[in-house]
Amino acid sequence: MKQMIDMVKRHFKQDHKIQAMFEQCFSNTYQTTIRPQVDGTTFVITGDIPAMWLRDSAAQVRPYLLLAETDHEIADMIQGVLQKQFMFITHDPYANAFNETANGNRYHDDQTSMTPLLWERKYEVDSLCYPLQLAYLFWKSTGRLSHFNAQFLAAVRRIIDTWRTEQDHEADSTYYFARDNCPKQDTLSNNGKGSPVAYTGMTWSGFRPSDDACQYGYLIPANMFAVVVLKQLAEIADEVLDDRFLKEEAVRLANEIDRGIEQFAKVQHPTYGTIYAYETDGLGNYNLMDDANVPSLLSIPYFGYCDINDPIYLNTRRFILSKDNPYYYQGKAAKGIGSPHTPEHYIWHIALAIQGMTAVTEQEKEEILNAFKVTDGNTGLMHEGFHVDNPADYTRPWFSWANSMFSEFVLNRVGYFVKGSPFNK
C-alpha cells in the first residue's frame, strides 16, 4: 500500500493537498473498516454505522484490487469480503445490510421478515450486483479461482431466483417492507409492496442505492448493472465453471432485462433528445432525475453497460449535469449531483468521482480534481454530502465508500485501472 501511495505522491509532486488527501483516503478503509473474522471471512463496516452493506463493502475494497494483483495479504482480505457477502446473500437476498454476528441489532423495527443477522432489509437490486462484479474483477485482477466455490454457487442461485421472481413483482413476490414514523422515502407505499408496476422484463427494486424508496419500481441504472453482471457471470460459468446451463440461464435473464430497458427506459426529452429515465413502472410513468449513489445513470459506462461515447448516454449526461435534473446543484464552492437522501444543495463526493471517471475531456477531469481539493472541509477525507456554498457543512465525517471512490478517481488520473473494468479493456 505504501508503494502505491508513494507512486501517487510522485505523480502529484507539486500538489501537496492531493498527496495528503490520497494518502488519508486510500488508507482509510483498510485502517478503519476492515474486520477479519475467525472463519477467514472479512466483515467491512461502512464507517460511522457498524453494519456491513453488500454494496458499500464491494465499492470500499474495489481500489485495493490494484494491490491484490501482487499482494497476497490484500487478496486474502478481498476474498474474505466476497465469502462474507455470499454467505449473507444465501441467508437473505432481500437484505441490504448485515450485522457482524447474529446479535439482533437493527436500524429500526421494520415490518418485514427480519432475522438476528440483519441490520436492515431494504431490497435493492444493486446489492446483489456488486458482489457478483467484485467476484469477476477479483478473478481478473488476481487469477484466483478459489472464491468460485459452493458458497458462490448458492448465492448465484439465490440472486437469479430473486431477480426472476421480481420480474413479476405483483404476482410472484412475497417481499414487503414498511416502516412507521419515518420520512416518506424510508418506507414502501401500498402496504409495503410499493407502487404498482406492469411486467416489462426488467426486475423490480424496492429501494435505490441511497436506501431511499423507489418512486417507480423499475430502477433503470440498477437493471443496467444487472445486465452487466449477468454477462460477467456467464463468462465465469463458461471459462471457469464449465457450466453450460448456468451460462445460458444468465445470458437469457440478461437479455430479457436488456430488452425491457430498450423498450421502457428511453424518453424523448424536448431539450436533450433521447435520454434514459431514472425509474419507470411500465405503465407509462417516468422519473427523470439522477441520484448521487452508484449505480446511477451517470455511472453506466463506469460499471460497463455502455461506451462512454454512446449517444443516448451523452444526451442523458447533459441532462443529468444541468438544472433540469432536480438534484443537480451549483453554488459558490462547487457544482454537482446530490440526492433526496440528503438536504437540498448538498453535493456528493461519490458523484464527483463518477463524473470525473466518466468525463471525456482532460479539462473536466481537472475541474473535478480541483473540486475535491476545495470541498473536503479541511479534513483530508471525503464525506457523504457537502453544501455547495460551504463545504465545511457536510454530512457523515466517516464515510468509507466516498473515500474509496475518490481514491479510485485519483488512481485513474495516474493511469491505474482495475483489471476487467470497462476502462481497462
pLDDT in tens, 49-64: 999 999 999 999 999 9
Can you tell me the mean pLDDT for 2-28? 96
Domain of 34: which CATH number?
Answer: 1.50.10.10
Distance CA 206, CA 169 (A): 10
Mean pLDDT across the stretch 322-349? Answer: 98
Pairing state of beta strands 328-330 and 335-337?
antiparallel
Average of per-residue pLDDT across 217-245: 98
Q: Tell me how crowded residue 264 is: count the other CB atoms within 10 A of its CB.
A: 22
What mean pLDDT is predicted for residues 216-241? 98
Mean residue pLDDT of the chain comes to: 97
Separation of alpha carbons 330 and 336, rounded Å: 7
What pLDDT shows up at residue 302? 98
Per-residue pLDDT tens over the stretch 101-132:
999 999 999 999 999 999 999 999 999 999 99
**Contacts made by residues 368-372, CB under 8 angstroms, sequence distance 24+:** 368/409, 369/18, 369/409, 369/410, 369/413, 371/334, 371/335, 371/336, 372/18, 372/21, 372/406, 372/409
Instruction: Give per-residue pLDDT as tens, 143-187.
Output: 999 999 999 999 999 999 999 999 999 999 999 999 999 999 999
Range of the domain at 216: 2-424
Confidence of residue 94 (pLDDT cuts 50, 70, 90): very high
Instruction: Summarize pLDDT for 346-371 with one digit per residue, the tens.
Output: 999 999 999 999 999 999 999 999 99
- Average pLDDT (4-32) is 97
373 in the Ramachandran plot: left (φ > 0), alpha (ψ -120 to 50) or beta? alpha
pLDDT above 80 (res 423): no
**pLDDT exceeds cutoff 60 at 425:** no
Number of domains in the chain: 1
> In angstroms, what CA-CA distances link 4 with 171, 407, 414?
51, 11, 11
Distance from C-alpha of 98 to C-alpha of 414, rounded to nearest angstrom: 35
Handedness of CA 421, 401, 230, 226 (dihedral sign): negative
